[in-house]
Structure 1
Amino acid sequence: MAQQLPNRDVPDYWYGHPMMGWGGGWGGMIFGPFFMIIVLALVIALAVVLVRWIGEPRSGAGPTGGRPPIDILKERFARGEIDKEEFEERRRVLGE
């Protein structure tokens, strides 16, 4: 029986050559998860910053809705929520 020659249609290095990613060591397996965690942490941090930026109140729209506190105090006095003494005391504290 004649000795069979290797098939020259497929190069010898087709499977297992270091340049094809096989036998390149453990570098990719060690650093790959670290880079994946870093990228995932950056994506989560970006999402948190974006949500906080979208959800933050704009300037002038604080807890009073942009109205002066004295106007709110006058409205509360007009509705009867506070009496005259409390109105005068709070107005004095506000500086008006």
Structure 2
Amino acid sequence: MIKLLVVLLVIIMVVLVLMMIRRRPSPPARPQRESPREILQRRYAAGEIDEDEYLRRMSGLNQDW
């Protein structure tokens, strides 16, 4: 009888530990770096740069150096 109680307690503890491990939040994902084109598009959309500067810088990115 006592052996059965011990086995049940061990099973309950294992289940509780597994539940706690699964509930633990996963680490935050690493933010991906924006490409230069994405940065320019974001800055243009936010109004930080005007159309002329956007086009000038975008054409500079399109050139093969």
Scaled by the length of structure 1, what TM-score is found? 0.31
- Which of 1 and 2 has greater Rg? 1
Structure with more helix by fraction: 2
- RCO higher in structure (CA 8 A, sep ≥6): 2
